[in-house]
Structure 1
Amino acid sequence: MNRSSSRAAMAALSPVVLAGASLCVGAAHAAPATDAVVVAALDAVVVSANRTEQPITDVVADVTVVDREAIDRSGAASVAEVLARLPGVSIVTNGGAASTTSVFLRGAETRFTAVFVDGVRVDSQSTGGASWQGIPLAHIERIEVLRGPAAAVYGSDAVAGVVQLFTRQGEEGFFPSIHAGVGTHHTQDLSASLRGGQGTVDYSLGLATERSDGFNAKPTGNPDRDGYRSHSVSGRLGWKPATGHQLNLTFLDSRQKGRYDGFTPGQDDQTVQELRTLGLNWAARWSEVWSTRVGLSRGTERYETQPSPYETETQVDSYWLRNEWKLGGHGFNLDLERREDHLTNLSTTPSLTRRSQNALALGYTLRAGAHTLQANARHDDDSEFGTHTTGSLAYGYDISPAWRATASAGTSFRAPTLYQRFSIYGIPTLEAETGRNVEAGLRWQSGQNKVGVVVYRNHVENLIDYLSGPGSCINGTGTYPGCYGNVGEALYRGITLTAATQVGAVNLSGSVDWMDPRNAITDKRLPRRARRQATLLADTRVGGWKLGGEVQAVGSRFDDAANRNELGGYTLFNLSASTEVARDWTLLARVNNLANKDYQTARGYATAGRTFYLGLTWAPR
């Protein structure tokens, strides 16, 4: 799609979402609608905003919640594809589901989003940020996305926001399930889970395997299929030794092997991606006023390429102690946290492979009538980097039972990775990337009918980039002359509009993003990020069938920093249908990219055309 047709698609879709917003305002007394992606009921509880359970009605931050039913309906093959349907999120893939994937939250780099799986931080001290392609979607029960900086709560990395992923949880009773599916490109998946509990113990165990022959991800390179194989297991064990006390053990182990086209024509390149998380959490409520949380966790990411000799592994150990006090509408929390990073990089081993960060964080919340206030401050002390202090202040005002206005400001930072500072391409004097964000929002909600608008501005300085070419660096001793340096400055500005309503028997929801992610020094748009994108979702029931449809439109982007190589915009149409074929048996059918649109998110790398999927689930209740 060229620029003119991309604008036409956006122009056609934006009024539909705007019309949905208008319908919402006029539908205050209509039957409640179910948002096709965002599942955030009035009594929903989220943890992303303040790192503890909090009613969504008390949250001032811009948060989206996605449940398992919405994940299944979406037809997504990966966590990143689920996120791409959400407001303010865009993705770039270098090929298929197992290829390198970038997630841009409000246009910010992948490394600026802090990622947790069951509260366990996952990160790479080589490339920076989580390896999205290695997170198995089959085990994810719920996703929370917080847009906006949260470093005052989470520390380093949360410059653009936070993504929390939760695996399946146990509950009272016994609930087994089995799912099998087949799809285009000889895709096959099989998963099984057991969830249950009795008395003081609950548990969950899940197994999943998936394979696909894939498609030719690089048409101008090797004429082969770039498929993948993955195997994963997850588990959760909960124990209540006494009233008010809860102990939880969680784990996830995933291994994925994929093929890709590298730099050598005809070479059968392969990747091995491993993700392991282990967490132990204890929550104690000593009284109506005072409670304590303790967390110990380890997140491990390993990435290897064959036959090219590259292997890197990052291990993040975290220790967290929180005390909370609630006095009427006032809430206080005191956090002590220690994070230890360990990097193993077999191809270019850094001179320093370990570091630690100790942090003290303070938080205050107030809920008084129509007013909500959240204030946070955090001080991080890095063993080899130094100290950094961040803060945030957010305020919400209930104008009426239906209308709410919010405003917030906060600072953030991302510490340079060990590889960026101490490898043969590193500069030990690199400074932290720092951000300053302000935003304001206005939301209307009556039942499940809602409209929201958020305006934001995030200015990031000391942006780290790789300087290539002879003479770029004093210590450019690597195979490719160059090094990392604090040479960039970025400005992420935008407006996000969301809406959901019900028209007859059809539930509608959607979002439109106008973004301006820009290099503040050159005034060029940042690579591979569109200025406009929109999503429209619809679902309904016809007889015994649940039917869903989706339109996703993304504007044109530039593939390079100089803004010379343009990638055309694209519009995707996806359909889904499910029905109960027998007691406890559910059939799901999906068609993605119905129009078989040929498009690219990274120049030279193909994306999947029209794909079909058919799945059968057995889940007795």
Structure 2
Amino acid sequence: MTQRLRIAASLAAMVLAIAPASARADDDDELVITAAEMEDRVRPPRLTADEAFLIERQPRNVAEMLRFLPGVSAKTNSRGETIARVRGAEERQTQVFLDGAPLAVPWDGRIDLGVLPAGLVRSVEVAKGAVPIEYGTNAVAGAIDLRTGDDATGVHGMAQVGSDGFATGSVVGGAAVGSFHMMFAASGVTRDAEPVADRAALPFSQAADGGRTNTDLDSVSLFGALGYAGPVVAARASLLRVTTRRGIAPESDRDPAVAAPRYWRYPDIDLTQLTLNASADIGEATTLRAVGWRQWFSQSIDAYSNASYTVRRTRQDDEDDTLGARLVLATAIAPFDLRLTSSAQTSRHAQVDTNLQTGVAGPRLVYRQNLFTVGAEVDAPLGPVKATAGVAYDRATTPLTGDKPAQPATDAVAFSLAVQGDVARDTTLTLSGGRRTRFPSARELFGEALGRFLINPDLRPETAWLADIELAWQGATANLVVNPFYQRGAGTIGQRVVRVNGVSLRKRYNQSGTRTYGVDAQANVALMAGLDAEIFGTVMSARADPGDAAFRRLLQRPAYEVGGALRYRPFDALLLRGEYRRVGPAVDLDAAGNRAELAAGDEVNLRAQWRVARIGSSAVSVTMAVDNLGNDVITPQLGLPSPGRMVRFGVRID
């Protein structure tokens, strides 16, 4: 048994050893400090995936929790990171939070959801459109709230093994003592390689047999939390630690003799995040909510000469230190509810690039970016409807810029309005819209990615004008949500390829404008006893204004993504699920900056979960999952197709 398999096996043994005494609380109270629910609050479109939803889908990681949510997708980029995208927008336009604290590394503006353990997260909420101002700066497309919960008691867990050396295991437990609650979680995932769907889709930098070149992964996560719930004050402190080492698949569309792909590996990735949550009732109708976070992040990137990954050329060593806080004061002044919000974050990035051929290390470059937000939001009943309006002031400064040109401070005003009312029996109509701004991340301003990018010191913030209409109907055996949307972007950050001394480099620039419109839809229907159907889909058009782009269609935005699932429970202990998803065609840039077509693809997944025993109050189930049954090629990004067929078997204890 390899060392990586021992990780999963050890965690599985922990589950089996402790689980007989486990019990789960049904209560779902948690300390929510991003955009809390209030009776008269009207919010833009949002999707919620609860614990039952997530368990049924058997996700391997947090990224796969976003499957089959309309308007939401997760894809692996050229750096090997699995990132979330809302309505096809760039990953930095979607903010990710864990228990109310931003999870993205500020230098890069994104987080790899593919290494975060699925067992840690108990629920996911996705906000789309002009999201509430508590989410702060940069959420121009949407926000994803990952919540660990704080009410679990006893222990539960899972373990799975599968194709190409895949293995994972997780254990989560908690205990309550009076007003205090403790929670812990441990998780490990390993794989030798990602499976290949079609070798013809990998013409370069790919071995003749075996899994995808350089896609091995080892990751271990630890999480602990201690909470207190008193009559007036509630507080919780949590600590997350994730350590990872991995390979990055080379872009298989590039001929090394013409335009060599990046041959990279991450020998070390370390993320530690401390989060403090608190709320206090300071009056009959007034509550103060606060969250503070401290994040430490480090990574090393080794660049190799070729696909053999034997000769290292350069190494990049990064260290990041981030400190931030958010305060929300909520009060009622009849008939209005008022929220005052302020947030601040400072992040330092230090980087050293070393030429491993000569052994000469470059200078230690230090960068800093500060983000600030202050705003207010009010809920107001307006006769038969209710409305929520908000306004905020955002500001970004970069006091340290390494060896790059100094940057001026930038600021912007954000605002939004949402109105909701009943238009028929069991039918609600919500209209929402607003303006949001995203400041360029420090990496977009200063990062050269080991010689891949040409920096643009004139890069400016991007602005989005957003509008949504959501029609929701809830029947006795079915429900339907239809959500047309529109987004007008100004200064949207794109990429173009430029030639410098005979070398093709990418350069970020502000497009004059973009326009995206489409519709999200979702329906659930009970067909008969034990048989349910789910249908979801997004149809979208995303175009740049004519004149400043090589071609108008925005990159990596599929024209549609549609699918559904059948869920069958022939008897209480057995659950069967079949899923289908079709991803429409899209476009991308090739190595020379020319337009490349990304073909449509189909994905079929199978899931099964059979409860076979009970040990005390715990249920023991065996699980089976088949991902991409048809082994079809889905290409979210040129040269980086999604994995092929994978089969997984496991055990789960709840």
* Interval of TM-score (by shorter of Structure 1 and Structure 2): 0.7 to 0.9
Of the candidates 191, 211, 218, which is equivalent to residue 229 of structure 1? 218
With over 3 angstroms needed to count, the CA separation of the structure-2 counterparts of 1:75 and 1:375, relative to structure 1, is same
Give, as a single letter, the amino acid of the residue that structure 2 aligns with 1:204: M
1:129-188 alpha-carbon deviations (Å, 9 max, x no partner): 3333343323111111001133743232100000011124234xx411232211111211
Q: 1:379 aligns with which of 373, 393, 398?
A: 393
Q: Structure 1 residues 107-116 or 214-223, which shifts more?
A: 214-223
Q: Output the amino acid matched with 2:422.
A: D
Partner of residue 498, structure 1: 522
Greater displacement, 346-355 / 589-598: 346-355
Q: 2:157 aligns with which of 163, 178, 186?
A: 178
Contact 2:29 2:150 in 1 (8 A): no
1:360 aligns with 2:353: no
- Cα shift at 1:266: 12
Match of 1:15 in 2: none
- Number of the residue aligned with 1:399: 423
| Distance change (3 Å), C-alpha of 1:518 and 1:265 | closer
Residue 292 of structure 1: how far off its partner (Å): 0.7
* Pairing 1:302-321 to 2, within 5 Å after superposition: 302-306=298-302, 307=312, 308-321=314-327
In the TM superposition, 1:19-168 aligns within 5 A as: 51-54=34-37, 59-94=42-77, 99-150=80-131, 152-168=133-149
* Alpha-carbon offset, residue 91 of structure 1: 3.2
**Aligned pair in 2 of structure 1 residues 485, 553: CA closer, same or farther (>3 Å)?**
closer
Match of residue 346 from structure 1: 352
Determine what percentage of the aligned residue pairs are the same residue: 21
CA distance in 2, matches of 1:266, 1:495: 37
Aligned partner of residue 437 in structure 2, secondary structure: strand
Instruction: Output the CA distance in 2 between the equivalents of 1:270 and 1:351.
Output: 20
SS at match of 2:580: strand
> Aligned ranges for residues 166-205 of structure 1 at < 5 Å?
166-171=147-152, 174-205=153-184
SS in 1 for 2:64: helix
Gapped regions of structure 1 (runs ≥ 5): 1-42
Structure 2 counterpart of 1:542, from 546, 562, 570 = 570
Aligned length: 567
Query: How far apart are residue 524 of structure 1 and its match?
Result: 2.2
Task: Show CA shifts across 1:90-136 (max 9, x none).
Answer: 333258xx922343211211010111111111234444333333433
Give 1:269 deviation, angstroms: 3.6
Distance 1:578 1:133, change over 3 A: closer
SS in 2 for 1:383: strand
Question: Does the C-alpha gap of structure 1 residues 140 and 417 become closer, same or farther in structure 2, counting only changes over 3 Å?
Answer: same
CA separation in 2, counterparts of 1:397 and 1:438? 17
Q: How does 1:410-421 map to 2 (within 5 A)?
A: 410-421=434-445
**Matching residue's letter, 2:630:** A
Q: What displacement does 1:289 show?
A: 0.6
3-state DSSP class of the match of 2:589? coil
Superposed, 1:278-357 pairs within 5 Å as 278-306=274-302, 307=312, 308-347=314-353, 353-357=367-371
User: Amino acid of the residue matched to residue 128 of structure 1?
Assistant: G
Match status 1:249 vs 2:237: yes
Superposition RMSD in Å: 3.1
* Cα deviations by residue, 1:254-279 (Å, 9 ceiling, x for unpaired): 11211234477997844543332211
1:208 positional shift = 0.8
Q: Do the aligned partners of residues 178 and 137 (structure 1) sit closer, same or farther apart at CA in structure 2, a change above 3 Å counting?
A: closer
For structure 2, list consecutive stretches of 5 or more residues without a partner in the other structure.
1-26, 197-201, 208-212, 251-255, 303-311, 354-361, 399-408, 449-453
Question: Distance between the aligned counterparts of 1:155 and 1:349, measured in 2?
Answer: 34
Tell me, yes or no, if the aligned pair for 1:122 and 1:300 is still in contact at 8 Å.
Answer: no
Deviation string for 1:47-105 (max 9, x for gaps)?
99x9342169954311111123322322332322321421012333258xx92234321
Per the TM alignment, residue 383 of structure 1 is displaced from its structure 2 partner at its CA by 3.4
Give me the whole-angstrom Cα distance separating, in 2, the residues matched to 1:490 and 1:303: 34
In structure 2, how many angstroms separate the alpha carbons of the residues matched to 1:349 and 1:485? Answer: 27
Q: Which amino acid aligns with 1:381?
A: R
Question: 1:367 offset after TM fit, Å?
Answer: 4.4
Aligned residue for 2:509, secondary structure, equals strand
CA shift for structure 1 position 320: 1.7
> For residues 569 and 56 of structure 1, do their structure 2 counterparts lie closer, same or farther at Cα, with a shift above 3 Å needed?
farther
Question: Which residue identity lines up with residue 497 of structure 1 in the other structure?
Answer: A
CA distance in 2, matches of 1:44, 1:166: 11
Local SS of the residue matching 1:190:
strand
2:382 and 2:535 mapped to 1: Cα distance?
A: 32
Q: Which residue of 2 aligns with 1:18?
A: none
SS in 2 for 1:275: strand
Cα 1:435–1:275 change in 2 (3 A) is same
Residue 219 of structure 1 contacts residue 606 of structure 1 at CA under 8 Å; is this kept in 2? no
User: Which SS does the other structure have where 1:605 is aligned?
Assistant: coil
Q: Give the superposition deviation at 1:466.
A: 4.4
- Post-superposition shift, 1:500? 1.2
Correspondence for 2:486: 457
Give the equivalent residue in structure 2 for 1:220.
204
In the alignment, the residues of structure 1 paired with residue 261 and residue 341 of structure 2 have an alpha-carbon distance, to the nearest angstrom, of 52
Query: In the alignment, is the contact (CA less than 8 A) between 1:75 and 1:591 conserved in 2?
Result: no
Return the offset for 1:309: 0.9
Structure of greater relative contact order (alpha carbons < 8 Å, 6+ residues apart) = 1
- TM-score between both structures, scaled by the size of structure 2: 0.80
Which residue of structure 1 lines up, in the alignment, with residue 649 of structure 2?
614
Is structure 2 residue 622 aligned with structure 1 residue 587? yes
Correspondence for 1:19: none
Whole-angstrom distance in 2 between the partners of 1:323 and 1:430: 35
**Contact in 2 for aligned 1:438/1:456 (Cα 8 Å):** yes
1:46/1:55 contact within 8 Å kept: no
Which amino acid counterpart does residue 290 of structure 2 have in structure 1? Answer: V
- Contact 1:118 1:250 (8 Å CA) reproduced: no
